[in-house]
Chain A
Amino acid sequence: MHRARRHRERSGLEVNLTSLIDVTFLLIIFFVLVSKLNEVENVRLDLPSPQEPMTVLPDSKQQVVINVLPDNAGGASAYRVGVIDFPSNLAGQNAMKSHLAELYQANPGIEVNVRADRSTHYEHVEPVMRAVSLAARIAAGAGAPPASGMARINLVVLKER
């Protein structure tokens, strides 16, 4: 009888937490990396939020994000394609067009998302659309047309819930 009682006292329930901590740290590393990518690609902008927008969720396939970085006067200080900044002048626009053409040639099915601040003037957003259109034509001339046959662009807005 004494032996059985001592046995019950010593056997405590122990939960093995090793795998839980492993998975948790993996999730943390994942979210750290994703948030870093978001900070670079999705610049904090005051996006337009139209009323009852007829928008769709962006596809999960490969995308290029172009951010129109605003200045204080409604202009654009630079265009950020992925992680590369291009000046907003004519030379920068041409460089951006060449870069986009290379991306189209490498992956004809790529989609281009354009993010611009709601206060940015249209004449500073339109060069992005023109650069995408011309880049698609350059890629088409090089034998790699966009998958849809025409340059398609995604205009990013904020949909209020």
Chain B
Amino acid sequence: MITDSATTEIDDDQEIPVPPLRGRRGRQRARMNVNLTSLIDVTFLLLVYFMVATSMTGREQVYRMDLPSREGAGPSDPFTLDDEPLRILVSSSADEAQPYRLTIDGPYPQPATFQALHDFLRSKQVNEATSGGLFDSKHPIMIEPAAGTRWEHAIEAFNATVTARYSNVTFAAPG
């Protein structure tokens, strides 16, 4: 039985509050509640998306290379003999079986792969323990990609050289 009072009596020991339909007390109790659940859902979806999308460059790394000055003569010591750089020629081809070709300038065995180039350079490096080898780790090495050489092959040759622990490696101007 509904009465004008603010409570409804169901049992003797239970009272359930019933908001009155009008009046000053009703205006005080009415609260606006905005449901934020969907907002937070969308927000977190956006957050996860952008976090994943902006990690694209995480796998990018760099080779540091000091560029020689190719124009103009620089100061030099007249009493020192500059080492003749070891020239490594690289070229690309359309042959899928052998997409690149490596040539070491000089009377050396010619490597067929970048791994063979790495092994050759490593074996010819001066080793203080055995007092053997031809080139020390600062011997200048020049990589000369031919016209039309793909950048990936030039970089592979560069990588084979620096992983053989040579520090003075440069690229030549295209011929």
Q: Which residues of A contact B (CB under 8 A)?
A: 2, 6, 17, 20-21, 24-25, 27-28, 31-32, 34-35, 38, 42, 47-58, 74, 113, 116-123, 125-126, 129-130, 132-134, 136-137, 148, 150-161
Contact = CB atoms under 8 A, between A and B. Distances in A.
Interface of B: 13, 15, 17, 36, 39-40, 43-44, 46-47, 50-51, 53-54, 56-57, 59-72, 114-115, 145-152, 154-156, 158-159, 162-163, 171, 173-174
6 contacts: A25-B43, A48-B151, A51-B156, A121-B149, A153-B66, A157-B155
A156 B150 contact: no
A119 B152 contact: yes
Contact of B62 (A24, A113, A126, A136): A113
A42 B142 CA distance: 29
Contacts of B151: 48, 116-122, 125
B174 A54 contact: no
A158 B59 contact: yes
Contacts of B147: 121-123
A5 B59 CA distance: 61
